[in-house]
Amino acid sequence: MNVTITVNGEKTSHEVEDRTLLVHHLRDVVGLTATNVGCDTSTCGACTVLVNGESVKSCTVLAAQVDGDEVQTLEGLAGENGELDPMQSAFREHHALQCGFCTPGMVMAATSLLRENPHPTEEEVRAALKGNLCRCTGYHNIVQAIMSAAESAEGAR
Amino acid sequence: MSIVGTRVVRTEDPRLLTTGAQYLEDLRLPELQGAAYATFVRSPMAHARITGIDVSAALDEPGVVAVLTADDLDDIPESPPGREPLLAKDVVRFVGEPVAIVLTEEHYQGEDAAELVSVDYDELPAVVGVQQALTDETLLFPDKGTNVLSRGGAKEFDDEAFADCEVVVERTIVNQRVAAAPLEVRAAAARWADDRLTLWSSTQNVHGVRDELTGKLGLDKKAVRVIAPDVGGGFGAKIGADRETVVVGWAARRTGRPVRWVETRNENLMAMSQGRAQLHTITIGGSRDGRVQAYRLDIVQDCGGYVRMGGMLPHLTMLMASGVYDLPRVETAFRSVVTNTTPIGAYRGAGRPEATAAIERAMDLFAAEIGMDAAEVRRRNFVAPDKFPFTTPTGATYDTGEYAKALDTVLEAAGYDELRAEQRRRRERDDPIQLGIGVSAYVEITGGGPDAGETARVSVHPDGTVTVWTGSSPHGQGHATAWAMLVQDELGIPMDRITVRHGDTDVLTEGVGTFGSRSLQIGGTAVRNAAVEIKERARELAAEEMEADPADLVLDLESGTWTVRGVPGRGVPWAQLAERAGPEGLSADTTFATDQSTFPFGAHVAVVEVDMETGRPRLVRHVSVDDAGPVVNPILAEGQRHGGIAQGAAQALFEEVSYDEYGNPVTATLLDYTFISAAELPSFELVPMETPTSVNPLGVKGIGEAGTIGSTPAVQSAVVDALGHLGVRHIDMPASPERVWTAINEARTAQ
Amino acid sequence: MIPPKFAYRRAGSAEEAVSLLAEYGDEAKILAGGHSLLPLMKLRLAQPEFLIDIGRVHELSYIRGEADHIAVGALTRYHDLEHSELLAAELPLLAHASGKVGDPQVRHRGTIGGSIAHGESASDVPAVVLALDGTLVVSGPSGVREIPSSEFFLGPFETVLEPDELLTEIRLPRPASPGWSFQKLTSRAIDWAIVAVAVQGSSVGLVNMGSTPLRATATERALADGASITDAAARAAEGTSPFADRNASPEYRKHLARVLVRRGLEEAAGRAG
């Protein structure tokens, strides 16, 4: 079937097999490989992208289901000259990534969280990350980074 | 001011945060154009004889390039009997064991075709758990006559050792099987061209992978090149080449077509090496004044279906058995048994967390028996600071340590006395939420050992930039940043002009890799030594250039230029010297090796709240001192400690690989395997402490595994401690709500 | 992991979904958020030949206050239930429990109707609907029928829904008593409940205490007879036969039911003022 998806602001249109999962569509057809597959059971969150601005696990969504929708991946966050967006900067400043495999999903989940709850408590941040697993960082610096991104957004306002 | 010791954000991150890293599955290389996709057919049986394999239906499926089985492995050396084969031939010994490889044109065709490979199995009784293995009623390898494939340590225990003790406590405890579960699963890709195999592998050590490939495929070392792309975590389970990786390399040669393979998480949780899986019987004896006189550790190691590292790990556990304590008598022994479960390999700590968990549980049991504070009992038995280097009864020689200082520091940071006071208050008012305080002290072994070394090449180019090649193999640790800091510190060339690379056996033909917390102390030292060597060569070149005595030349680290002592004026920059050195620039290759290991140590305090009605424990604070000597980059060292603490706490509270009685894994997805998340953890409180070693010129020890080793016993102890007033002395890991609830019930019934 | 092959059909309306179901019958499955069905398909535990995607049937996504009940469209996502002002005011139990399902990503896709039609007894929202005395509105080839939630669930992954029927609406009467509570005990935060309890007034729903969502009938009867909360809660596990699994034995689940029902009733009583 044909699916037309606006990915990171650019309209894409492709013929795909009906069973194509969104994550494979993004990686193998659209050619954006930042989004990773970590578990297959919508547990680990490595495949998190934004669909119409909300975090979803792209390994558990068919490309066909988001036909006509807007999808944003990690590749769509930085500015035109490659400058990091506030969440990306906060992750770097706080050493919130080690191997980097969970990072694309983690950053997108965090982005979605702050859109819905701009001033989360630490407990709220931790609860919101329960579907994003990381084996390297112990989550400590990820939580710090998100709290700090929320604060800097506050300061900028 | 030196950059070493300062908080430098990682140079790796901008790429990882914008386009994402290039993991194996992300490779879009021309060399892999047209690659076939590999899918393994795996055994659904824990123990069975293979009576037939019919691949015809699969071959008829669209897009199927080939289906290959053990019978096709006729062009490589036969695997020795009793060893883990590449593809199962006559017998399968665990669920998930690879039986055939299916190659398809498209990724999506793989699973469809693999389902059509029909394998006939004649089911055999499954051996699950070490107790069943020890009965030898069912044998995995009948030719061996037993499931106990190796044993070591004391031939017989000497009960005399405990005869004069006022108090003796004995207990059998479980150090359960856990999954390494790096977020990136296993993956490989291979290409055979011009009589050479190029293999990309998600690995911690390309050289080890190459050596396994050459051995198993019967190839010359020069005919194999192994490359590591970005690697999404390893934790010990990506050391070397697993059988699937070797088969992928073989299949590329066999079919003359590039092959790529990425497993699923389900496969990963069945077939990637798992960790721990030891049963311990601990006996501890001493006097009522808190002095321990004798300690015994009897280990049964579950190796799984084949012996990967299951024969080696208990040696490390025995070596480190007495921990931070100066114990007059220590006895250890082990038996390694095979069972119809996933094979066991290295997992963060690999043998040492087991030793620490055992001795720390033993100290707690002893403390409870004599009614003394657990911290105080530890203090009375530490190896004293003036005794280093200290050789333990099991033969380890600890380099340096300040064990009492580490404990006192962490207790103070945690507010230990106030925590105990709060615990008393809650007990007095019979609070439904009780407080538990767990204390652990640990020492572990990292780095050196016979043949352990690491390679490095540092090259200063005529444009003034530097390339560092390291035999270490980072997969999240931040070596690109840390190694550049070391080189800047030696050469005065700013780190933004320094590129650190790794993971190609054609560039550095020898190397060891990243595991066992060895990288900074061995690999970092090799890099530092290469820089020092370059500096000496540069001194000669600068002397020629400036017509001065080499001894008078000074490197100004701020500007990165060479000047003649006492002579004002512009110095000679590195670029000029690199140019002068010839077309190759200035380059040095080094190998650093040492027989001496280092012994990081520390102490942790965990605070747990237990809901006394439901049994549910919750980790509310975790405070640690982890002393691995001087810190090159605090943010990296802290990151290692954070991750380590989380994994250790996960073993204490949540994670366990389990099987049903037929050997079917019941934790083969991340829905079932309770991988710890942010919601189960607090922020951690890290306290700095640095005691250098003299084993290497940087004075450093390994920090990669320390957090895991210290946290597991502290968290486990905290759960038990919360119930201490009821008389509970032990709860096996993981301390699930039901286990804790059961312990509360049993204790209340007994009262 | 890849789902087995199927043919994808998109329904533009509830009516079209019902007619597609009539056409494909047993071979078809309705795809709403997909967060129950797609993982099962990827594990190859479900292999439907046709998926009928109702994700674009916006007419099935709503939360409306009617004269005597709240009407929730079957396609309403957990995220929308969690953040609904109407529910916060009128049915806070449903809003709160929806916010405890899965993780934010799952709540952005998962729907109330999908969860109920899936018939998973470990799922939170079916027991909430049961405790709220909800009615399920179902469309089929022969028209619309209304099924009391107490008659809807038959067994593990089994409901009275016929293969050609579509769940379209959940009707929830305005509760007589305002006190509510949702108590959930999990291993990890993301895990299914070992046991959860939904309380509205003196109605009590139980999650994962058997092959279907249940009402704690013995407790409810005891309360009606004037028993204290403690005494009534002690009867919470009567008539239940919970499963044993890796997380919990039946005995532990029964114990948890008693504890969580007591806590739930106490909290609900506190809220009722």
Same domain for B568 and B602, yes or no, is no
> Measured between CA atoms, how close is B706 to chain C, in angstroms?
25
Same domain for B603 and B485, yes or no, is no
> Measured between CA atoms, how close is C143 to chain B, in angstroms?
39
> Is the CB of residue C12 less than 8 Å away from at least one CB of chain A?
no
pLDDT at B585: 84
Mean pLDDT of B690-708: 97
Same domain for C246 and C168, yes or no, is no
Same domain for C87 and C67, yes or no, is yes
> Is the CB of residue C47 less than 8 Å away from at least one CB of chain A?
no
| Secondary structure of residue B542 in the 3-state scheme | helix
Residue B450 scores a pLDDT above 70: no
Residue A156 scores a pLDDT above 70: no
Same domain for B573 and B615, yes or no, is no
Domain holding B490, by residue range, is 453-593
CA–chain centroid gap for C57, Å, is 20
Nearest CA in chain A to C55: A65
Same domain for B386 and B341, yes or no, is yes
pLDDT at C163: 92
| Residue B36 DSSP symbol | E
Residue B448 scores a pLDDT above 70: yes
Number of other CB atoms surrounding residue C82 within 10 Å: 20
Please check whether residue B388 lies inside any domain of the structure: yes
Same domain for C236 and C267, yes or no, is yes
Residue C58: partners with Cβ closer than 8 Å, 6 or more residues away: C75
| Residue C240 DSSP symbol | -
| Secondary structure of residue B690 in the 3-state scheme | coil
pLDDT at B81: 85
Please check whether residue B164 lies inside any domain of the structure: no
Domain CATH number, residue C13: 3.30.43.10
For chain A, what percent of residues have pLDDT higher than 70?
Answer: 97
Please check whether residue C84 lies inside any domain of the structure: yes
Please check whether residue B511 lies inside any domain of the structure: yes
Tell me how far apart the alpha carbons of residues C107 and C116 are, in angstroms, rounded to a whole number: 15
Same domain for B408 and B280, yes or no, is yes
As for how many domains chain B has, the answer is: 2
Domain holding C207, by residue range, is 180-272
Q: Which of B593, B615, B643 is the last residue of a domain?
A: B593
Same domain for B411 and B517, yes or no, is no
Structure tokens at B631: 């810190």
Domain CATH number, residue C92: 3.30.465.10
Same domain for B713 and B587, yes or no, is no
Same domain for C152 and C67, yes or no, is yes
Which chain A residues are closer than 8 Å to C8 by Cβ? 1, 18-19, 62, 64
Q: Which of C173, C194, C223 is the last residue of a domain?
A: C173
Give the model's confidence band at A155: pLDDT under 50 very low, under 70 low, under 90 confident, else very high.
low
Please check whether residue B156 lies inside any domain of the structure: no
Which chain A residues are closer than 8 Å to B673 by Cβ? none
Residue A20 scores a pLDDT above 70: yes
User: Is C259 in Cβ contact with B667 (below 8 Å)?
Assistant: no
Same domain for C136 and C195, yes or no, is no
Nearest 10 degrees: Cα torsion C110, C116, C119, C125: 80
Same domain for B546 and B627, yes or no, is no
| Residue B5 DSSP symbol | T
Same domain for B334 and B396, yes or no, is yes
> What would the pLDDT profile of C126-181 be if each residue is shown by its tens digit?
999 999 999 999 999 999 999 999 999 999 999 999 999 999 999 999 999 999 99
Mean pLDDT of C256-265: 98
pLDDT at A16: 97
> What would the pLDDT profile of B174-206 be if each residue is shown by its tens digit?
999 999 999 999 999 999 999 999 999 999 999
Which chain B residues are closer than 8 Å to C4 by Cβ? 112
ipTM of the complex: 0.97
Q: Which of C189, C248, C259 sits opposite B679 (nearest CB)?
A: C189
Please check whether residue B58 lies inside any domain of the structure: no
Please check whether residue B97 lies inside any domain of the structure: no
Residue B145 scores a pLDDT above 60: yes
Q: How far are the Cα atoms of B69, B484, B487 from residue B480, in angstroms, in the given order?
A: 41, 6, 11
Tell me how far apart the alpha carbons of residues B21 and B202 are, in angstroms, rounded to a whole number: 13
Same domain for C133 and C149, yes or no, is yes
Domains of chain A: 2-76 (3.10.20.30), 86-156 (1.10.150.120)
pLDDT at B569: 78
> Is the CB of residue C259 less than 8 Å away from at least one CB of chain B?
yes
Residue A107 burial by CB count (10 A; 0-12/13-18/19+): exposed, middle or buried? buried
Q: C56, C202, C203: which is closest to C127 by C-alpha? A: C203
pLDDT at C82: 98
Please check whether residue B281 lies inside any domain of the structure: yes
Q: Which of B593, B611, B628 is the last residue of a domain?
A: B593
Tell me how far apart the alpha carbons of residues A86 and A110 are, in angstroms, rounded to a whole number: 11
Backbone angles phi, psi at B359, to 5 degrees: -70, -35
Mean pLDDT of C253-272: 97
Please check whether residue C2 lies inside any domain of the structure: no
Same domain for B589 and B673, yes or no, is no
Please check whether residue B99 lies inside any domain of the structure: no
Which of C44, C256, C266 to mutate against chain B (most B CBs within 10 Å)?
C256
Q: How far are the Cα atoms of B183, B368, B692, C72, C167 from residue C136, in angstroms, in the given order?
A: 41, 58, 70, 10, 7
Same domain for B417 and B293, yes or no, is yes
Please check whether residue C105 lies inside any domain of the structure: yes
Q: Which of B264, B666, B676 sits opposite C1 (nearest CB)?
A: B264
> What would the pLDDT profile of B655-665 be if each residue is shown by its tens digit?
999 999 999 99
* Inter-chain Cβ pairs, chain A and chain B, closer than 8 A: 185
pLDDT at A62: 98
Same domain for C240 and C153, yes or no, is no
Tell me how far apart the alpha carbons of residues B294 and B301 are, in angstroms, rounded to a whole number: 23
B413-417, B553-557, B638-642, C79-83: lowest mean pLDDT where? B553-557
> What would the pLDDT profile of C99-133 be if each residue is shown by its tens digit?
999 999 999 999 999 999 999 889 999 999 999 99
pLDDT at A149: 97
> Measured between CA atoms, how close is C247 to chain A, in angstroms?
17
Please check whether residue C159 lies inside any domain of the structure: yes
Across the beta sheet with B498-502, the strand order is B498-502, B466-470, B453-460, B586-593
| Residue B85 DSSP symbol | P
User: Is C189 in Cβ contact with A130 (below 8 Å)?
Assistant: yes
Question: Look-up: residue for tokens 């079932």?
Answer: B672
Please check whether residue C1 lies inside any domain of the structure: no
Domain CATH number, residue B303: 3.30.365.10
As for how many domains chain C has, the answer is: 3
Same domain for C228 and C166, yes or no, is no
Nearest 10 degrees: Cα torsion B43, B47, B49, B51: -30
> Measured between CA atoms, how close is C30 to chain A, in angstroms?
13
Same domain for B506 and B403, yes or no, is no
Q: Which of B565, B593, B621 is the last residue of a domain?
A: B593
Q: Which of B13, B17, B183 sits opposite A101 (nearest CB)?
A: B183
pLDDT at B672: 95
pLDDT at C262: 98
Residue C221 burial by CB count (10 A; 0-12/13-18/19+): exposed, middle or buried? middle
> Measured between CA atoms, how close is C7 to chain A, in angstroms?
6
Nearest CA in chain A to B646: A138
pTM here? 0.97
Tell me how far apart the alpha carbons of residues B499 and B522 are, in angstroms, rounded to a whole number: 19
